[in-house]
Amino acid sequence: MLDSITKKKIDDARDILVGKVPVPSSQVEQITIALIYKFMYDMDNESIELGGKPKYFTGDYAKYAWNRLFDQKLSGEGRVMLYQDALTKIPNNASIPTLFRDIFKNAFLPYRDPETLKLFLKCIDEFTYEHSEKLGDAFEYLLAVLGSQGDAGQFRTPRHIIDFMVELIDPQKEDSILDPACGTAGFLISAYKHIIKTNSSNYDKVNDPHTFAMHNTPLDELVIQNGKKYTGDLLTPDQRAFLHKNIKGYDIAFEMVRLSLVNMYLHGFNTPQIFEYDTLTSTERWNEYANVILANPPFMTPKGGIRPHHKFTIQAKRSEVLFVDYMLEHLTNNGRAGIIVPEGIIFQSGNAYKQLRKLLVEENYLVGVISLPAGVFNPYSGVKTSILWIDKALAKKTDKIIFLKINNDGFDLGAQRRPIEANDLPAAFDNAMAYKESVLSGEEYIASDKNVSLVEKTRLAENGDFNLSWERYISSTSNSYTYDTVRLDEICVKKAQYGSGAAKTDYDGETRYIRITDIDDDGNLKDNDIVSPSVINEKYLLNEDDLLFARSGSVGRVYIHRQKGRFIFAGYLIRFVLDKNKALPRFIFYLTKSEYYANWIIKQSKTGTISNINAQQYSSLRIPLPPLSVQEEIVAELDSYQKIIDGAKQVVDNWKPHIDIDPEWDSYPYKEIFTTLTAPMKIQTSEYSSSGAYPIIDQSMHEIAGWTDDERALVRIEKPVVIFGDHTCRIKYISKNFCQGADGIKILSTTENVIPKYLYYYLLAFPITPQGYNRHFSKLVEKEISIPELDVQQIIVSRIESEQKLVEANRKLIALFEQKIKERINRLWETNQKRPL
């Protein structure tokens, strides 16, 4: 298991780097390279002690031996130069294994501070190479750092979800195993550990706990060992050799390949089968198949779509469709797979999505769909995902698909993902195994858990879309809602009403015209673009507590009217007036925040460029209706949550850096305190990718606009720079090498008397206001900036960073209480016996 001493060493290394290398992925890269550098030296020493010869640091490369970095005669600058030179030259050493040359490919030192490097190397020197589980677990803990960042281009799968999927698919010692989008090799390592565990004489299948069932263990400390030293002693040497040769991973990004190589090596793979390979557009490995595939492929599709070859069964440009198609086509005859997919795969109506679902069901790939909670990938995404359970042999033996729902995974759904008691993974696993046993034995499986549903394959095919959404079929398996359900029109005092067809005109100061575009995602009225209707018809005047439902465009969006004054609603909105003796308008409004409602909207929406739901469809919406007294209690609870959210949003939305200018500070024209860097070349927008070695920075609202592997465009920086959007005036702080997008940004490198982050915060505190889509840099350079001494700048930067932490805490508070609202509402839709909520 991961011991506290090793964990502290890794944390110390990160703490040393954070001032110069603030991005977590870059910290991981620097620690990884340094560890392997040190371990190469350790292996040379071990060889010498056993009477052999060194292999890594010999001949012209002897001067780069690890111990030379600690020579007392070496100056600080000399140490920096020696280390940087070593990183550059080691990949050229033909006498060392290819694995190590690959690991050092494109390695460089992103800072030049001698003291930071000295402290960092001293920290790394405390690690000693040994083929041990401890070291592998330590590296897994380091990789967990990637889970705290949001710019990795793909989502790192949490350890307990990986292990849940591996236990579900149950790879065996004779299986070939593949992850075609392997990232840091988490699935491959977990599969290997699973095989080692199940082939160990001390393994107890009944009593040994699953990783995904462990409580009160932080995500970054979870390891599969559960306190036992599984050795795989029941495996023969030939079986081990087979595993090492047949566990393979592909990734398009070399940074991920590097981490995978190291991860596999530290888990005992001397020649890891990890390849830099574009799974979707290359054909070199198309004819290689696997018994088991485990993957969480990238969800993002670059602008313009993927340009795949023509070997795919389904012709598509969406990466998630192509990845699933690839995995299905590369399973052996009785192959098995566990694949994390976004919701588009589950229910979107595009032809490629429907073809894929049809293939999954009709060609007997799919055994089950496991719905994961939306916060699994927090803090860097709230995307809703599911697991596709693929087993070609098992699927042929049944005419049903099992649906399993995970409401809680043992961790809260906030940014920190703290351990909690609620955990549906163990029960879901037990239900999945019970279903598998029943299919294999031919016995009937009875779903007794409210989070389990069985649906006939013929039912999925009824309307031709093969929708795999849990909510689509839940009503067919249980009719006992917590409370009786009613149609929306059964609790209204009159028929639904479409809005006015009047045109908009300038606001007359009296009557406001509400259109779909005036309502935000939270159901609030926006303050901008206030207009009046060209014709005022009294029958469209809104009254307090009227509910408006969007019929087109932002279909499903709901607004409850609580404003004072005269308001008329437009034609693409539908009014429902509730009978308050039956239902509280605010209670119904909150129900529209549920997952059930969101999925109902998707099912009801018409396909095409614009989705539509008419008044008749909205009227047919069935909702659970508790007594008014219970509605009041629920509304009071949710209102208290919403007040916290609203307060936190005020902080988040209104905060910006504030700098009190001292009149004694010197003032300089901006043009005197920075130089502009020029990128070697620019990446055209059409060439942006969803993954790659280098981030693309442009003047858009996104911190990272895309990714590329084109090293020719790389802007190499020795210290952080500030980006100024010439047209948008957007400001960005960049601390690592990047490529420039094909638009008008200025790359500002500060002079020695200005801290880069001070300039960044100053430009945020005193922004240049954009005047249309014109160039603004010429205005900036003529303005002046107040510059205090460096120590004062640092104090200001530190203070603002402290404020940012408080703002971030409010963001987390928003996420936490939004989740509380969702959970409370979703409980109303649960299928269960009647009970007080």
Helices 254-266 and 24-49, interaxial angle, to 10°? Answer: 40
Contact by Cβ (8 Å): 80, 121: no
- What confidence score (pLDDT) does residue 773 get? 75
> Residue 56's CB: how many other CB atoms inside 10 A?
23
- What confidence score (pLDDT) does residue 662 get? 93
Give start and end residues of each alpha helix (H) in 199-318: 237-246, 254-266
Strand partners, 668: 785
What confidence category does residue 769 fall into, taking pLDDT thresholds of 50, 70 and 90? Answer: confident
What confidence category does residue 404 fall into, taking pLDDT thresholds of 50, 70 and 90? Answer: very high
Exposed (0-12), middle (13-18) or buried (19+): which is 122, by Cβ within 10 Å? Answer: middle
Among 118-122, 483-487, 606-610, 773-777, where is mean pLDDT lowest? 606-610
Among 98-102, 104-108, 203-207, 415-419, where is mean pLDDT lowest? 415-419
What confidence category does residue 378 fall into, taking pLDDT thresholds of 50, 70 and 90? Answer: low
**Tokens representing residue 148 in the block:** 């705290």
**Tokens representing residue 509 in the block:** 């100061």
pLDDT over 80 at 149, yes or no: no
Cis amide bond preceding 379, omega within 30: yes
Exposed (0-12), middle (13-18) or buried (19+): which is 717, by Cβ within 10 Å? Answer: middle
Strand partners, 178: 248, 293
Cα 398 to chain centroid, rounded = 34
**Tokens representing residue 344 in the block:** 């588009």
Q: Which residues 6+ apart lie within 8 Å of 608 measured at CB?
A: none
| Cα first-last separation, the chain | 42
Q: Starting at the edge strand that comes first in sequence, how are the strands of the sheet with 273-276 ordered?
A: 273-276, 247-251, 177-179, 290-295, 331-342, 385-391, 366-371, 400-405, 452-456
Contact by Cβ (8 Å): 157, 184: no
Contact by Cβ (8 Å): 807, 454: no
Hey, what CATH class is 666-787 in? alpha beta
pLDDT over 90 at 598, yes or no: no
CA distance 414 to 161: 17
Contact by Cβ (8 Å): 574, 316: no
pLDDT over 90 at 578, yes or no: yes
- Mean pLDDT in residue range 672-701: 92
Handedness of CA 308, 156, 171, 103 (dihedral sign): positive
Kindly give the pairing relationship between strand 738-741 and strand 694-697: parallel
- Mean pLDDT in residue range 645-661: 91
- What confidence score (pLDDT) does residue 135 get? 65
Q: What is the amino acid identity at position 162?
A: I
Exposed (0-12), middle (13-18) or buried (19+): which is 521, by Cβ within 10 Å? Answer: exposed
478-512 per-residue burial string, b: 16 or more CB within 10 A, e: under 16? eeebbbebeebbebbeeebbbbbebeeeeeeeebb
**What is the number of H-type helices and E-type strands within the chain?**
24, 32
Among 61-70, 154-163, 661-670, 775-784, where is mean pLDDT lowest? 154-163
User: Which regions of 703-769 does DSSP assign to beta strands (E)?
Assistant: 706-708, 714-715, 721-725, 731-734, 738-741, 745-750
What confidence category does residue 302 fall into, taking pLDDT thresholds of 50, 70 and 90? Answer: low
**Consecutive H or E run containing 815:** helix 790-826
pLDDT tens-digit map of 85-117: 999 999 999 989 888 999 999 899 999 999 999
Among 337-351, 499-513, 672-686, where is mean pLDDT lowest? 337-351
DSSP classification of residue 340: E
Selected residue with higher pLDDT from 493 and 374: 493
Contact by Cβ (8 Å): 681, 696: no
- What confidence score (pLDDT) does residue 381 get? 56
CA distance 806 to 302: 34
- Mean pLDDT in residue range 120-125: 93
CA distance 619 to 831: 22
CA distance 731 to 473: 48
Residue 173's SS3 state is coil
- What confidence score (pLDDT) does residue 301 get? 64
Contact by Cβ (8 Å): 691, 257: no
Selected residue with higher pLDDT from 143 and 437: 437
Contact by Cβ (8 Å): 300, 690: yes
The number of CA neighbours under 13 Å toward the Cβ of 439 is 21
Selected residue with higher pLDDT from 149 and 666: 666
Closest CA to 496 of 434, 569, 433: 569
CA distance 763 to 652: 18
* Whether CATH 3.90.220.20 fits 488-625: yes
pLDDT tens-digit map of 704-725: 999 999 999 999 999 999 999 9
Kindly give the pairing relationship between strand 273-276 and strand 247-251: parallel
Of the chain, the percentage scoring pLDDT greater than 70 comes to 90
CA distance 54 to 483: 75
Average pLDDT over the chain, rounded to whole? 87
CA distance 166 to 247: 14
**Tokens representing residue 761 in the block:** 């915060």
- Mean pLDDT in residue range 578-603: 89
CA distance 74 to 712: 34
- Mean pLDDT in residue range 754-783: 90
Contact by Cβ (8 Å): 819, 413: yes
CA distance 648 to 642: 10
CA distance 587 to 593: 10
Contact by Cβ (8 Å): 440, 394: yes
pLDDT over 50 at 834, yes or no: no
Kindly give the pairing relationship between strand 331-342 and strand 290-295: parallel
> Residue 641's CB: how many other CB atoms inside 10 A?
17
**Consecutive H or E run containing 38:** helix 24-49
Highest mean predicted confidence (pLDDT) among 131-135, 181-185, 304-308: 181-185
CA distance 553 to 572: 9
Selected residue with higher pLDDT from 716 and 462: 716
The pTM of this model reads 0.57
- Mean pLDDT in residue range 519-524: 86
CA distance 353 to 340: 15
What confidence category does residue 150 fall into, taking pLDDT thresholds of 50, 70 and 90? Answer: very low
CA distance 497 to 485: 23
Strand partners, 493: none
Dihedral pair phi/psi, residue 110, rounded to 5°: -85, 5
CA distance 66 to 46: 14
Strand partners, 676: 748
CA distance 425 to 413: 15
Contact by Cβ (8 Å): 17, 120: yes
Give domain 139-425's CATH superfamily. Answer: Vaccinia Virus protein VP39 (3.40.50.150)
CA distance 726 to 119: 40
**Tokens representing residue 358 in the block:** 């049809």
Q: Which residues 6+ apart lie within 8 Å of 56 measured at CB?
A: 40, 41, 43, 44, 93, 96, 100
Q: What separation in angstroms does the CA of 694 have from each of 27, 474, 661, 691, 740?
A: 15, 44, 37, 8, 10
